[in-house]
Chains A and B, each alone.
Chain A
Amino acid sequence: MVESPSLTVERPGLLTTVQDAGRRSRALGVPEGGAADPVARRLANALVGNSADAAGLELTLSGPTLRFHADALISLCGAPFEARLDGGPFPLWRAVPIRAGQTLSILGTGRGARAFLAVRGGLDGQEAFGSRSTDLRTGFGGLEGRALRAGDRLFCFVRPHAKPLRAFINPDLQTPTGPNFVLRALPTPEATPDLLAALCGPTLTVSGQADRMGVRLSESVPTPHDPTRISFPNPPGAVQLPPDGRPILLLPDAGTHGGYLTPLVVASVDCPALGQLRPGDRVRFQVVTVREAHGALRARERSLRAVEAALSWWYMRK
Chain B
Amino acid sequence: MLEAGAPDITPLGDAALVVRSPLARELLASLTGRPLPGVREAVPALGVLTVLYDPLTVGPEELTAALAWRLSGLEAQSENTGRTLTLPVTFGGPDLAWCAERVGLDVPGLVRALCGLTLEVAFLGFTPGFAFLTGLPEGLRMPRLDTPCERVPAGSVALGGPWAGVYPRETPGGWRIVGHTDAVLFDVARADPVLWRAGDRVRFENVSELDG
- Listed in ascending order, the chain A residues whose CB lies under 8 Å from chain B are 24, 26-31, 126, 128-129, 135, 137-138, 140-141, 145, 186, 188-189, 230-233, 235-238, 255-257, 265-268, 290, 293-294, 297-298, 301
Task: Encode contact with A along B121-142: 1 for CB under 8 Å, 0 otherwise.
Answer: 0011111111110000000000
Q: How many residues of B contact A (CB 8 A)?
A: 40
Question: Bound complex: CA of A257 vs CA of B18, how far in Å?
Answer: 13
A140 to B128, CA, bound (A): 11
User: Provided the pairs A232-B50, A257-B125 are in contact, do residues A27 and B28 lie with their beta carbons within 8 angstroms?
Assistant: yes
- A128 in contact with B193 given A188-B13, A268-B14 (CB within 8 Å): yes
Cβ distance B136 to chain A, nearest Cβ, rounded Å: 14
B14 touches A265 (CB 8 A): yes
Tell me, in angstroms, the Cα distance from A186 to B193 when the chains sit together. 35
Bound form: Cα–Cα A257–B127 in Å: 8
* A residues near B52, Cβ cutoff 8 Å: 26, 235-236
Please tell me if the beta carbons of B13 and A233 are within 8 angstroms of each other in the complex.
no
The residues of A that contact B40 with a CB separation of less than 8 Å are 24
B162 to A: closest C-beta gap in Å: 8
Bound-state CA distance A236–B43 (Å) is 12
Q: Which residues of A contact B59 (CB under 8 A)?
A: 294
User: Measured between C-beta atoms, what is the minimum distance from B176 to chain A in Å?
Assistant: 15
Interchain residue pairs with CB less than 8 A apart (9): A28-B124, A28-B193, A29-B124, A128-B193, A138-B128, A188-B12, A290-B14, A294-B59, A297-B56
| Given known contacts A128-B188, A232-B45, A238-B13, A27 and B127 CB-to-CB distance under 8 angstroms | no
Point out the residues of chain B lying under 8 angstroms from A28, CB to CB.
Answer: 124, 128, 193-194
Q: Are A266 and B28 in contact (CB under 8 A)?
A: no
Q: Which residues of A contact B41 (CB under 8 A)?
A: 24, 26-27
Q: A29-B126, A236-B13 are in contact. List 8 more A-B contacts (CB 8 A).
A: A24-B41, A27-B42, A29-B131, A128-B188, A189-B10, A231-B126, A238-B13, A256-B125
